[in-house]
């Protein structure tokens, strides 16, 4: 045997290169003048920036450029030979899908690296972490370009978290945080367990959540038992709890036994009286030591306002959404007309005539006839809402609030509202701002929920009607669970906005997180500190928003069916 | 005189000259109908003839403007207590099933008994399983409606209606949204119910069902009852010209 057959390698076949230069040019460069121009520009910018970075950070830039070139050529080679490795396929799909993307990959990698390096340099390498202002000054002085002075943030951490909350009362905060943490943990477990759906544990947790706001607010307001009254308070609380529990089961029984609206109404009255009585008896023996306007601040205030606004705006928003869609029989047109007519005559006699007598100039005389405006308003009410008071109120409320920026509402609550109150009556700024935030959020929430309500097909209403559910049951069991599920993404988006918007209350004078940050930049012993508190805030708000997004995604995926 | 038992000939639905308008459109032009206990009535008619509107008036999904509807002695009017009373006794099955997609099959079926009849969960679930068995899908109880076929969904809807223990059943084109091979399973259930003594009013296009199960066939056109007949006479020997035209159109294709 002299000649040997050329052996074909079994493991590896020769790769055939498919290369069509004209097609590649046509598809990637020659499609239009704009594309060619753009690619030229992008290539130019990338080249310039890469060269620039070679000067600044030779090692990293070289490494990035080499990796980029190597992976790019491997991808192109594999593409031409039609033999992709999973890695190059991924690269082709995600990073090198076109010339533009390949160039952008290099440019953005270098930009991100530069940004990260710059930040790390500023925030860690050249930064000072000591809480001693003088030492910090000395540390920072050794650098040509001084980094962050984190000492200012660390030394002020208590201020950022709770601001002026008295140190002696810190245990209240610890207790509240621990309690809420436990409640959230328990809820995360109990509410996700299908087998606990109707268990007593879940019911008990529901009741605990109902009293949670009361407990939290009482503690944060510094509830204190009057000295010497401890025993009577304990006995009283025990008795009250027993009585309320008995009342609860009695009303449950009565409602089941006598299904009549009058029974429900009577029970509501009894409950209102019972709660008022219990409150009265309890408040006699306790005092609230802390003034929220003074004691609440920083992160604590931010959280209180955000959580309160979210929780309180929810039922309000749902009611407004239902109200706007309500189709109850309206006030008949003749009644509206009659009322408006009588009111106009009454106001003309009682307000216009005296005003006319003392009016100065033509304008004053004309303005004296303002009661005539009642008539067109009545006409518009009938024309647009057909006499439906509920729909009219909800619509006007929603649209007025949505027509005003939040900052205006906050200013109104701080500056205008006290003027409108009767003399010697005062409502603390904290309460006013909390109410303003909740009322503002409710209007937006109402529109979100209304969107969800519109997505529910008519058949759901008909089915609920046909099996005999009453209106309340129909909305509670059938319509709202579906409608709200649809709008969870929108609602969470709105609540994130609300959480971030709480920074606006720094402008109206309450010292929440941003307010504290502003104060830190003005502290004499941390002169020169400008950015650090705000960078810290950035991370806090980012973390908060990220948490909400993650939770909502969990909720969506769990309810996706 | 065959029997003296008053319940035998009890008139459970009495309609007197029922009129309804949608704006200017006169949808029902004086419907008068009396249904005895246990009767099975099939309502036929071309689309737009008002047959759906009529049976939806019987449980107040639509409001009639004139005339009188009395169901088991209760007059249907604006009084919500009467409406609630009637809806407890009258069950309805829809063309589009209208199951509640966010609840499991079992929750769909037990919802009304628990919240309207105030049964305990245990009792409601036991009755629900009984009816799910009867319609032949007990194994689907813990699935969601979206996971079932059309025919299974419609049978769940029937079980949901029956668990409320109504005396009167209204069917609004229950098979029209189903694939042909699923129609039979639903019709079998309906046939079974018709034989167990329920009073049934069904709007349907299933002529076979009308022919074999109905005690009376009612033909509606343009908001009026045109012909009322036994199924035998209705199909073989129609009296009215409009009925003849309708039958020739649906039977000759």
Instruction: Convert the pLDDT of each residue in A297-314 to its tens digit.
Output: 999 999 999 999 999 999
Has residue A101 got a pLDDT over 90?
Answer: yes
- Which pLDDT belongs to residue A4? 54
Nearest 5 degrees, angle CA A129-CA A134-CA A140? 55
Flag if A466 and B87 touch (Cβ within 8 Å): yes
CA angle in degrees (0–180, nearest 5) for B184-B187-B190: 155
Using pLDDT thresholds of 50, 70 and 90, give the confidence band for residue A420: confident
* Least confident span in A3-17, A86-100, A488-502, B90-104: A3-17
pLDDT (0 to 100) of residue B5: 47
> Which residues of chain B fall below pLDDT 50?
1-6
Q: Quick one: closest CA in A to B120, which residue? A: A256
Pairing of β B90-93 and β B168-172: parallel
Res. A10: pLDDT tops 80: no
pLDDT, tens digit (0-9, with 9 covering 90-100), for A44-73:
999 999 999 998 889 999 999 999 999 999
Q: Report, as an integer, the average pLDDT of A326-352.
A: 88
Q: What pLDDT score was predicted for residue A425? A: 83
Three-state DSSP at A287 gives strand
Of B196, B164, B152, B7, give the one whose Cα is nearest residue B84: B164
Q: Is the pLDDT of residue A369 over 50?
A: yes
What is the least distance, in Å, from the CA of B215 to any CA of chain A?
A: 25
How much is the pLDDT for B6?
46
Q: How confident is the model at residue A7 (pLDDT cuts 50, 70, 90)?
A: low
Backbone φ, ψ for residue B224 (5° rounding): -130, 155
Quote the tokens at residue A11.
């493991």
Q: What is the pLDDT of residues A172-196, one digit of tens each?
A: 999 999 999 999 999 988 888 878 8
Tally the C-alpha atoms within 13 A of residue A129's C-alpha that lie toward its C-beta.
3
Provide the 8-state DSSP code for A285: T
Contacts of A445 (CB under 8 A, 6+ apart): A313, A314, A316, A317, A318, A320, A321, A491, A494
Measured distance CA(B187)–CA(B191) in Å, rounded: 6
pLDDT at residue number A561: 46
- B193–chain A Cβ distance below 8 A for any pair: no
Which residues of chain B are within 8 Å of residue A259 when distances are taken between CB atoms? Answer: 118
For residue A277, pLDDT beyond 70: yes
**Rounded to an integer, what distance in angstroms lies between the CA atom of residue B202 and that of residue B217?**
10
Does residue A9 have a pLDDT over 80?
A: no
Q: Is this prediction's ipTM beyond 0.90?
A: yes
Backbone phi and psi for residue A123, each to the nearest 5 degrees, phi listed first: -90, -20
pLDDT score, position B1: 38
Residue of A462, A468, A470 lying closest to B61 (CB–CB): A462
| Contact between chains at B87 and A463 (C-beta distance less than 8 A) | no
B82 touches A at CB < 8 Å? no
Contacts with A553 (C-beta within 8 Å, 6 or more apart), sequence order: none
Cβ-nearest to B98 among A259, A463, A468: A463
Closest residue in A to B119 (Cα) is A256
Band of the pLDDT at A440, cuts 50, 70, 90? very high
Number of A/B CB contacts below 8 angstroms equals: 65
Give yes or no for a contact between A418 and A426, defined as CB atoms under 8 angstroms apart. Answer: yes
- pLDDT value of position B250: 79
Element (H, E) at A275: helix A261-284
Mean of the pLDDT values across residues A132-148? Answer: 89
Q: Measured between CB atoms, which of A477, A481, A561 is closest to B115? A: A477
- Residue A6's pLDDT band, with cuts at 50, 70 and 90, is low
Comparing CB atoms, the residue among B84, B96, B115 nearest residue A459 is B96
DSSP-derived pairing of the beta strands A286-288 and A223-225: antiparallel
A82, pLDDT greater than 90: no
3-state secondary structure of A412: helix
Report the percent of chain A where pLDDT is more than 70. 96
Are A468 and B87 a contacting pair at CB < 8 A?
A: yes
């Amino acid at each position: 045997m002299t000649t040997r057959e050329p052996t074909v390698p079994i493991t590896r076949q020769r790769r055939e290169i498919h290369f069509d230069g004209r097609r590649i040019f046509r598809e990637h460069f020659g499609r239009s003048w704009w594309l060619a121009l753009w690619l030229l520009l992008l290539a130019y910018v990338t080249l310039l920036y890469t060269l620039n970075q070679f000067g600044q950070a030779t090692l990293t830039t070289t490494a990035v450029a080499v990796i980029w070139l190597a992976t790019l050529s491997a991808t192109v080679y594999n593409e031409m030979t039609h033999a992709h490795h999973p890695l190059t396929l991924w690269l082709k799909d995600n990073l090198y899908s076109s010339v533009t993307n390949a160039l952008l990959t290099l440019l953005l990698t270098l930009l991100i690296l530069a940004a990260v390096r710059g930040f790390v340099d500023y925030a860690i390498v050249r930064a000072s972490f000591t809480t001693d202002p003088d030492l910090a000054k000395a540390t920072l002085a050794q650098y040509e370009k001084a980094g962050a002075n984190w000492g200012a943030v660390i030394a002020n951490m208590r201020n950022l978290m709770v601001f002026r909350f008295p140190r002696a009362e810190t245990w209240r905060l610890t207790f509240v945080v621990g309690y809420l943490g436990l409640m959230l943990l328990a809820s995360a477990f109990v509410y996700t367990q299908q087998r606990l759906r109707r268990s007593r544990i879940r019911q008990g947790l529901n009741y605990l959540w109902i009293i949670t706001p009361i407990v939290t607010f009482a503690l944060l307001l510094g509830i204190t038992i009057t000295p010497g009254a401890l025993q009577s308070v304990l006995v009283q609380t025990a008795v009250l709890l027993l009585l309320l529990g008995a009342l609860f089961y009695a009303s449950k029984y009565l409602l089941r036994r006598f299904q009549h609206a009058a029974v429900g109404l009577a029970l509501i009255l009894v409950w209102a009286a019972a709660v008022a009585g219990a409150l009265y008896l309890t408040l006699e023996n306790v005092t609230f030591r802390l003034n929220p306007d003074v004691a609440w601040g920083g992160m604590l205030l931010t959280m209180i306002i955000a959580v309160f606004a979210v929780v309180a705006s929810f039922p309000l928003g749902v009611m407004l959404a239902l109200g706007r869609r309500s189709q109850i029989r309206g006030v008949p047109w003749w009644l509206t007309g009659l009322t408006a007519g009588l009111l106009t005559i009454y106001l003309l006699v009682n307000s216009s005539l005296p005003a006319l007598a003392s009016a100065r100039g033509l304008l004053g005389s004309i303005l004296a006839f303002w009661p005539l405006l009642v008539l067109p308003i009545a006409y518009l009410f009938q024309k647009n809402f057909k006499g439906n008071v509920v729909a009219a109120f909800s619509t006007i409320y929603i649209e007025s609030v949505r027509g005003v920026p939040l900052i205006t509402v906050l200013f109104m609550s701080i500056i205008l509202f006290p003027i409108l109150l009767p003399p010697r009556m005062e409502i603390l700024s904290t309460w006013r701002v909390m109410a303003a935030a909740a009322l503002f959020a409710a209007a937006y929430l109402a529109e979100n929920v209304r969107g969800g309500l519109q997505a529910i097909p008519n058949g759901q209403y008909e089915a609920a009607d046909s099996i005999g559910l009453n209106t309340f049951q129909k909305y509670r069991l059938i319509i709202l669970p579906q409608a709200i599920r649809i709008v969870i993404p929108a609602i969470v988006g709105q609540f994130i906005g609300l959480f971030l918007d709480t920074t606006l209350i720094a402008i109206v004078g309450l010292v929440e997180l941003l307010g504290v940050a502003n104060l830190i930049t003005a502290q004499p012993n941390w002169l020169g500190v400008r950015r650090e508190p705000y960078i810290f805030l950035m991370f806090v708000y980012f973390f908060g928003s990220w948490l909400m997004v993650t939770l909502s995604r969990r909720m969506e995926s769990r309810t996706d069916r | 005189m065959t029997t003296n038992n008053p319940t035998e000939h009890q008139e459970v639905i009495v309609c007197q000259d029922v009129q309804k308008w949608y704006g200017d459109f006169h949808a029902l032009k004086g419907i008068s109908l009396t249904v005895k206990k246990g009767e099975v009535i099939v309502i036929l008619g071309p689309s737009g003839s008002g047959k759906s509107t009529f049976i939806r008036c019987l449980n107040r999904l639509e409001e009639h403007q004139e005339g009188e509807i009395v169901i088991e002695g209760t007059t249907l009017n604006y009084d919500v207590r009467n409406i609630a009373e009637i809806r407890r006794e009258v069950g309805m099955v829809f063309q589009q099933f209208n199951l509640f997609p966010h609840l499991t099959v079992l929750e769909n079926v037990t919802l009304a008994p628990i919240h309207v009849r105030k049964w305990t969960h245990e009792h409601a679930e036991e009755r629900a399983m009984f009816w799910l068995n009867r319609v032949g899908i007990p194994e689907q109880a813990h699935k969601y409606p979206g996971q079932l076929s059309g025919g299974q969904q419609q049978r769940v809807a029937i079980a949901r209606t029956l668990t409320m223990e109504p005396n009167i059943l209204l069917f609004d084109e229950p098979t029209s949204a189903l694939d042909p091979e699923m129609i039979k399973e639903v019709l079998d259930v309906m046939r079974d119910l018709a034989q167990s003594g329920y009073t049934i009013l069904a709007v349907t296009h299933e002529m076979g069902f009308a022919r074999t199960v109905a005690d009376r066939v009612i033909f509606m056109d343009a908001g009026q009852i045109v012909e009322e007949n036994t199924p035998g006479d209705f199909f073989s020997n129609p009296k009215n010209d409009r009925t003849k035209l309708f039958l020739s159109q649906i039977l000759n294709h």
